[in-house]
Structure 1
Amino acid sequence: MAELYLVRHGQASFGSGNYDQLSEVGERQAVWLGEYFSQQDAIFDRVITGTMRRHRQTLDAIIQGLGRTVTHIEQHAGLDEYDFHALFEALGPQHGALKALRHGSKDDFFKGLRQVLQLWSEDGIDGPIPEAWASFQRRVSEARRAIQDGPGKRVLAVTSGGVMAVMAQQVLRSPADTAIALNMQISNSSFCRFFFNERAWQLGSFNCDPHLDRVDRRRYQTYA
Structure 2
Amino acid sequence: MTRLLLVRHGQASFGAENYDALSPLGHEQALVLGRSLAARGIKPALVIRGTMRRHEETLSGILEGLGSPVPLVQDPGWNEFDFQHVVEIHRPSYRDRAAMMGELALSDRPDRAFQQVFDAATLRWSSGRFDAEYAESFTAFRTRVAAALSEITTSLTDHRDILAVSSGGPIAMAASLITAGPDFPAALWASFNRVTVNTGVTKILSGRSGLSLSTFNEHTHVESDQRLLTYR
Partner of 2:160: 153
Residues 9 and 54 of structure 1 are in contact (CA less than 8 Å); yes or no, is this contact kept in structure 2?
A: yes
| Cα displacement (A) at 1:198 | 6.4
Cα distance change, pair 127–16 in 1 and its aligned pair in 2 (3 A): farther
Say if 2:208 is the partner of 1:208: no
| Cα displacement (A) at 1:118 | 1.0
Query: CA-to-partner distance for each residue in 1:195-223, whole Å, 9 max, x for gaps?
Result: 01465110000111121121xx1121001
| Cα displacement (A) at 1:182 | 1.1
SS at match of 1:177: helix
CA distance in 2, matches of 1:31, 1:129: 36
Partner of 2:230: 222
Say if 2:22 is the partner of 1:22: yes
Structure 2: 5+ residue stretches without partners: 105-109
CA distance in 2, matches of 1:152, 1:6: 15
Residues 3 and 193 of structure 1 are in contact (CA less than 8 Å); yes or no, is this contact kept in structure 2?
A: yes
SS at match of 1:90: helix
Superposition pairs for residues 64-213 of structure 1, below 5 Å? Answer: 64-70=64-70, 72-91=71-90, 103=101, 104=104, 105-125=110-130, 128-150=133-155, 151-173=158-180, 174-197=184-207, 199-213=209-223
Query: CA-to-partner distance for each residue in 1:58-78, whole Å, 9 max, x for gaps?
Result: 0000011111122x2101111
| Cα displacement (A) at 1:157 | 0.1
Residues 148 and 198 of structure 1 are in contact (CA less than 8 Å); yes or no, is this contact kept in structure 2?
A: no
Residues 6 and 164 of structure 2 are in contact (CA less than 8 Å); yes or no, is this contact kept in structure 1?
A: yes
CA distance in 2, matches of 1:169, 1:88: 22
Give the superposed CA RMSD. 2.1
- Deviating more after overlay: 110-119 vs 123-132: 123-132
Partner of 2:47: 47
| Cα displacement (A) at 1:112 | 1.2
CA distance in 2, matches of 1:198, 1:140: 22
Cα distance change, pair 102–223 in 1 and its aligned pair in 2 (3 A): farther
CA distance in 1, matches of 2:82, 2:53: 14
Residues 90 and 125 of structure 1 are in contact (CA less than 8 Å); yes or no, is this contact kept in structure 2?
A: no
SS at match of 1:158: strand
- Deviating more after overlay: 112-121 vs 133-142: 112-121
How many residues are treated as equivalent by the alignment? Answer: 218
Query: CA-to-partner distance for each residue in 1:55-107, whole Å, 9 max, x for gaps?
Result: 0100000011111122x2101111000001111222377xx79x999542111
CA distance in 1, matches of 2:119, 2:55: 23
SS at match of 2:27: helix
CA distance in 1, matches of 2:123, 2:90: 12
> Aligned partner of 2:192: which letter?
L
Structure 1: 5+ residue stretches without partners: none
CA distance in 1, matches of 2:188, 2:132: 25
TM-score, normalising length from structure 1?
Answer: 0.91
Cα distance change, pair 92–160 in 1 and its aligned pair in 2 (3 A): closer
Partner of 2:107: none
Residues 88 and 102 of structure 1 are in contact (CA less than 8 Å); yes or no, is this contact kept in structure 2?
A: no
- Deviating more after overlay: 121-130 vs 81-90: 121-130
